[in-house]
Amino acid sequence: MAVINEQELRTSTFKGFVQFQDPAGSTYYRMKERQNFGITLNFSYSEHYSDSGQKAFDPSGYNHSFNMTLKVTSDMIDDANPPTDKKTISYWIYKAVQNDPLDITFVGKMIALNAPDGETNEHRLWYKFKGRITQFGTGWSGTGGSQDWVMSGDILEINTIERSSSDTEPTATTNWFP
């Protein structure tokens, strides 16, 4: 895969990017310039006491989530009604309204700082997961500037969380979820 949105194409302080995969194919689209992306992995455990009186924990599921904030540009909203462009926020909202939400594969890469042991190789940290956007939000500002879209949702599967010295996406073949 050819990686887009490389650091050398951005400002010198930009150290990562997130892109998503077209739900109908293998095409990747980059997110907009100003973005925040967060991932929360939440593994639940039920507390109980064993027969010997020791506290024990049993896995009871997971509730992984993500959130992102993107700069709004006009190409993020489709000009068709109903929307048909699968890489637009309006299409994602339309599909949610139709009770047919999209499961979107997100790929993130960031440059990691050198390790404290003196290693000087620059490493890329890759995150790839499938998520379903369940919340959308935006607002308007009277002071000008660009507007933001805030979206969040559930992580349905994790494909990779990996360190690599390569600039191309790792080819993980294992879905971490049972």
Q: Which sequence spans correspond to the domains of the chain? A: 7-42+63-164
Tens of pLDDT, residue by residue over 30-69, are 666 567 778 888 888 888 888 888 888 888 888 889 898 8
* Residue linked to tokens 């993500």: 66
Number of H helices, E strands in the chain: 1, 9
- Helix ranges (H only) for the chain are 89-97
CB 114 within 8 A of CB 122: yes
Which fold would CATH assign to domain 7-42+63-164? Pnp Oxidase; Chain A (2.30.110)
pTM for this prediction: 0.69
What pLDDT does 3 receive? 43
